[in-house]
Amino acid sequence: MDLKSRKKIQRSWMMYDFGNSAFATTIMAAVLPVYYSTVAASGLDDNLATSYWGYSQSISVLIVAILAPILGAISDFSAAKKKFLRFFAFMGIIASLLMMFIGEGDYIFASLLFIIGSIGFSGANVFYDGFLPEIADKDEMDKVSSGGFAFGYIGGGILLAINVVMILSPDVFGLPNTEWATRLALASVGIWWFIFAIPLLKNIKEEKKQQVTRTKSYVAIGFNRVGNTFREIKQYKQLVIFLIAFWLYNDGISTIIRMATVYGSEIGIAQNDLIIALLITQFVGIPFTFFFGWLATKINPKNALYITLFTYLGIVIIGYFMNSALHFYLLAIIVGMVQGGAQSLSRSIFGRMIPAGKHAEFFGFYGISSKFAAVVGPFMFATIGHLTGNSRLGILSLIFFFVAGIILLRFVDINKGILEAKEASNPKDDVIVKTK
């Protein structure tokens, strides 16, 4: 492939992220949770609506976690990534378009469409990620990957900004009221995603692979891989301690991201305030992600990560007492300051302790296992709110995830973890050292 063609395909690949990130911002985080609480579940008690949204989140994450290793195996063994990418992308696009028809009392329909859309979004991303090594050389892979993330932030933020204006001023767009503006905002995700998926689906070419004879199903191959990685990863004590700490505190972070707006809606914060606050989070996150990357070089990554996690503890406590839009705006800004930093620092710490030649395998396990762990937080939040009739107690339960994660993180010695990885990568050198 010549340079001009490769650059064109790389731009097309990044534009897909520009389009599909609207699902994460508008549907997962900002607009749908509020609409679900105020309209789709309008006939239910407020705390019950919040609980049902939490159950929907847990179910969607669980299904995605189960599918991830299977789809990963399909991506590695088949020469049909483009076909599967198209299938799952269209699943998410159609589910988003159908959200326009969610009306009062349609919470079951809304939950079903959200689950289907989440499967489409995450399933397509498996095959989208799988194209990266085919479209970028090793020396440009980080640049192209980062470009995809940046385009995603921008694309998701732009559509959310348009949707905020549409919901605040429906008459400007010729719409009768806020409800119909919100319905159109949800459907706009499908249109946006489809338009910016076209360049990738048009320009990407499947890399020809030598036919591999499989003796097992994709299901068996996928879960065998996860099992093998789990057995191997147990050799690395520091890595395992960090991974368990990550499962705990990341579950808390994931729950805040997924439940914030529906919780805010339950306690009486207006829809417009909730959505604008989430838009602020989106754009605050960009510079602060870079800031924590810089801070890690000054005070080391673990200490920088501590700052983000103690900040999240404060967010949970403030969230328990929150009762005004001003409080929610404050929390949105603080979340934006630490969200990207916590995730990027976690990934870099984990990456430092992986033995050479195991990055793809261990990062695959990192992603899949964190999805399984992320089922617990929303389910606990929803269950406590459901049983007690008070979602404030549900958010307070998240303290456990952060405190437990911080305590375990204290036992992680990154330098020992790096040494363990080096010894595993160079067993012969290790033997020589020990015999001297």
| pLDDT 10s digits, 222-242 | 888 778 878 888 889 999 999
- pLDDT: which is higher, 216 or 5: 5
Report the distance separating Cα 362 and Cα 359, nearest Å: 5
pLDDT-derived band at 431, boundaries 50, 70, 90: very low
| CA–CA dist 159, 429 (Å, integer) | 54
The total of other beta-carbon atoms located within 10 Å of residue 390's CB is: 14
The pLDDT assigned to 138 comes to 65
Pairwise CA distance, residues 413 & 217, whole Å:
40
Which of 16-30, 31-45, 196-210, 253-267 is least confident? 196-210
Predicted confidence at residue 436, as pLDDT, reads 31
Tell which wins on pLDDT, 359 or 45.
45
Q: Measured in Å, how far apart are the chain's first and last C-alpha atoms?
A: 51
User: Smallest Cα–Cα separation from 192: which of 24, 424, 408?
Assistant: 24
pLDDT of residue 435: 31
pLDDT at residue number 214: 65
Q: Give the pLDDT band of residue 317 (cuts 50, 70, 90).
A: very high
- 152-174: pLDDT as tens digits: 888 998 999 999 999 999 999 99
* Residue 110 pLDDT > 60: yes
- What count of other Cβ atoms lies within 10 Å of the Cβ of residue 420? 18
Mean pLDDT (whole number) for 78-107: 93
- Give the separation between CA 333 and CA 258, rounded to whole angstroms: 16
Report whether pLDDT(126) > 90.
no
Q: Which one-letter amino acid corresponds to residue 272?
A: N
Whether 69 and 368 have beta carbons less than 8 Å apart is answered as yes
Question: 148 CB contacts (<8 Å, ≥6 apart)?
Answer: 13, 14, 16, 17
Lowest mean pLDDT among 147-151, 405-409, 411-415: 147-151
| Segments of 214-319 assigned E as strands | none
CA pair distance 1, 329, nearest whole angstrom: 49
| pLDDT (average), residues 411-419 | 92
Angle between helices 107-130 and 81-98 (to 10 degrees): 160
Amino acid at 44: L
For residue 141, is pLDDT > 80? Answer: no
Choose the most confident range, by mean pLDDT, from 112-126, 206-220, 337-351.
112-126
